[in-house]
Structure 1
């Protein structure tokens, strides 16, 4: 069974609270839009694609100040990651991580749709640092759920 299919099944199951009964429809879980594993995986792959395109840019030494209003939803979501993981562990509730990863993926995709991430200006490094942060956190979120985070889709 392909890795992406397995990931979609795992994510589709774990995004629901463990005490709830669910109607699991495989076709719905394989879609690249909506609250699915492939949507989160695709968001990670999109971030990695942006970073590959900007591979010549050294964003480690640049100003990390993000002044783009569209970025703040993503920054806010990134800041929630440690507390979400802590809560999910305390409550034995992996759905909290799955729901969080969907929230971050949605915020990132909204940011990407409204911002020109790869424009060469004095804020390029900050935008790339944000994309790198999203990539790392989405990958870790998926890994915590036992789902692979592909770099390409």
Structure 2
């Protein structure tokens, strides 16, 4: 992997910033370095790793989104992610109106959890008539996670 040091810096800095921003700004919280840098749970590295995992799927499939294509999915797991997509504009407005970055951080965590559940339960690269639609869903997840991270001032490494 190229740029290991740069990615480590992005993840390390992101871990500290994310931990601070995921908490309501008016509440106090405990800071434990071991918890902050974990790749599981409600951490920045967890969100960044989820983004990198989704990007890896898209690279492997050589997926390119096509706005003129009709992507249709009818499974329950996909619908859980679609709910996050539909509510994204309102979430950003809420965070801005309340001056509350934790709204964005919590969205990133919940979207990451939903995607990882989807990833664990769904054969995304199963060569069938819905593969392109599943890849389109993964693509939208990467767009939203990257935007969440950027709204919080964090990098979104494509490989980890």
Deviation string, structure 1 residues 16-59 (Cα, Å, up to 9, x no partner): 0000011111110100100000000011001100000000x555
Cα distance in 1, alignment partners of residues 139 and 103 from structure 2: 22
Cα distance in 1, alignment partners of residues 48 and 142 from structure 2: 10
2:125 aligns with 118
Aligned equivalent of 1:76, options 72, 75, 83? 83
C-alpha RMSD of the superposition: 1.3
1:23 aligns with 30
Q: CA deviation at 1:69?
A: 1.5
Question: What is the number of equivalent residue pairs in this alignment?
Answer: 152
Which aligned pairs between 1:83-102 and structure 2 lie closer than 5 A? 83-102=90-109
| Conserved 8 A contact 2:65-2:139 | no
Q: CA deviation at 1:143?
A: 0.3
1:35 has 2:39 as partner: no
Deviation string, structure 1 residues 63-89 (Cα, Å, up to 9, x no partner): 310112111111111211111100000
**TM-score normalized by the length of structure 1:** 0.95
2:18 aligns with 11
Q: Structure 2: any 5+ residue segments left out of the alignment?
A: 1-7
1:67 aligns with 74
**TM-score normalized by the length of structure 2:** 0.91
| Conserved 8 A contact 1:15-1:98 | yes
| Conserved 8 A contact 2:10-2:157 | no
Q: Structure 1: any 5+ residue segments left out of the alignment?
A: none
Runs of 4+ in 1 over 2 A off after TM superposition: none
| Conserved 8 A contact 1:18-1:95 | yes
Determine helix, strand or coil for the equivalent of 1:109.
helix
Determine helix, strand or coil for the equivalent of 1:93.
coil
